[in-house]
Amino acid sequence: MAVSIKPIIGLPSDVFWKDDQMYHSIGDKYLRAVHDVAHCVPVMIPSMGDVHDLDATLDRLDGIVMTGALSNVHPPHYGHDPSEHHEPYDHHRDATTLKMISKVLDRGMPLLCICRGYQELNVVLGGTLATEIHTAEGRLDHRAPDHEDMDVRYGPVHDISIREGGLLHSILGKTVAQVNTVHRQGIDRLAKGLVVEADAPDGVIEAVRVLGTTGFALGVQWHPEYKAAENPDSVKLFEAYGEAARAYLTGEARPAA
């Protein structure tokens, strides 16, 4: 695929401590999906909370991909009390991303939210999260398979039903897809301003889009970034995101479906 313009895409870092020092990191699979499939330039946005000038950062970017993470959103951000069932946390990421998502939506920048990022999107817009959803009656076990092989852990596990007429439907061109499942938490109360794009057989919401935006604003609970270039649905998703980023860069952005 020949691409003359490469948008710059920001991805937030996760923060962890080692040997009494703080580090910022991003999983390689997200960077590869943005670079190899969306044909954009990925850059890390350090999760530095209140000291980070997010507006200055966003001025230089053409889109944002909110990554998944080992950590979960701190429950007080959506009105719940924290417990061991919600751990682990990353307060530095929360302090950065929850503000950043609002700014990205205000700007109409292309936004793709994955797993934790998907949950962050729901929280920012006023929704809540449910923890340990596999313990609820009638729910599937959405945690990753207990296996050392990453191809098994991130392999397809269940179908999702895709709503006709939505953005995801227009991208994938079908109403049923198979996805992986690597999460303990999920959307509980859907935020106002979000519309369901897909759900799992047990009713867990698997994809949403943002209403009232002027650009690409989609969230998915699964991990399309894992070996994205080898998955036809992931290729379609990241290529569509890349096209939205190029339209934003050139000033030709169109409203999402």
Q: Please write down the HEC assignment for all residues of 40-75.
A: CEEEEECCCHHHCCHHHHHCCCCEEEECCCCCECCH
Catalytic residue among 74, 92, 142, 223: 223
Give me the percent of the chain exceeding a pLDDT of 70: 95
Residue 257: what pLDDT?
42
Is residue 225 flagged as an active site residue?
yes
Q: Average pLDDT over the chain, rounded to whole? A: 91
Contact 184, 134 (CB under 8 A): yes
Residues 216-232: what's their mean pLDDT? 97
Q: Looking up tokens 């999906």, which residue turns up?
A: 33
Please, which pLDDT band fits residue 86 given cuts at 50, 70 and 90?
confident
Q: What is the DSSP letter of 35?
A: I
93: pLDDT strictly greater than 90: yes
Q: pLDDT-based confidence at 232, cuts 50/70/90? A: very high
Is residue 146 classed exposed, middle or buried when 0-12, 13-18 and 19+ CB atoms within 10 A define those classes?
Answer: exposed
For the chain, give every domain's residue range: 8-250
The answer to whether 223 is a known catalytic residue is: yes
pLDDT tens per residue across span 137-166: 777 767 777 778 888 788 888 999 999 999
Q: Is the CA virtual torsion 117, 118, 119, 123 positive or negative? A: positive
What is the rounded average pLDDT of the residues 42-59? 93
3-state secondary structure of 78: helix
Instruction: Kindly report which listed range (108-112, 210-214, 217-221, 229-233) carries the lowest average pLDDT score.
Output: 210-214
Asked if 185 contacts 130 with a C-beta cutoff of 8 angstroms, the reply is: yes
Residue corresponding to tokens 């047990």 = 202
What would the mean pLDDT of 212-230 be, rounded to a whole number? 93
User: Residues 120, 197, 206, 225: which is the catalytic one?
Assistant: 225
- Residue 247 above 70 pLDDT? yes
Rounded Cα gap, residues 9 and 33, in angstroms: 11
1 burial class (0-12, 13-18, 19+ CB within 10 angstroms)?
exposed
Count the Cβ atoms, other than its own, within 10 Å of residue 257.
14
**Domain 8-250 belongs in CATH node 3.40.50.880:** yes
What does the alpha-carbon distance between residue 168 and residue 174 come to, in Å, rounded to a whole number? 9
**Per-residue pLDDT, 255:** 43
- Per-residue pLDDT of 97-143, as tens digits, reads 999 999 999 999 999 999 999 999 999 999 999 987 776 777 776 77
pTM of the model: 0.92
Instruction: Please compute the mean of the pLDDT values over residues 232-249 and round it to a whole number.
Output: 97
Instruction: Let me know how many helices (H) and strands (E) the chain has, helices first.
Output: 7, 13
CB under 8 Å, gap of 24 or more: what pairs does 22-28 form?
22/92, 26/67, 27/67, 27/68, 27/225
pLDDT of 21 over the 70 cut: yes
The residue that leads in pLDDT, 4 or 122, is 122
Q: Is 40 one of the catalytic residues?
A: no
Q: What is the Cα–Cα distance from 122 to 128, expressed in whole angstroms?
A: 7
Give the pLDDT mean for 174-187: 91
Give the three-state DSSP class for 87: coil
**pLDDT at 253 (0 to 100):** 65
CA-atom Rg of the chain in angstroms: 17
Catalytic residue among 74, 92, 115, 197: 115
pLDDT of residue 10: 98
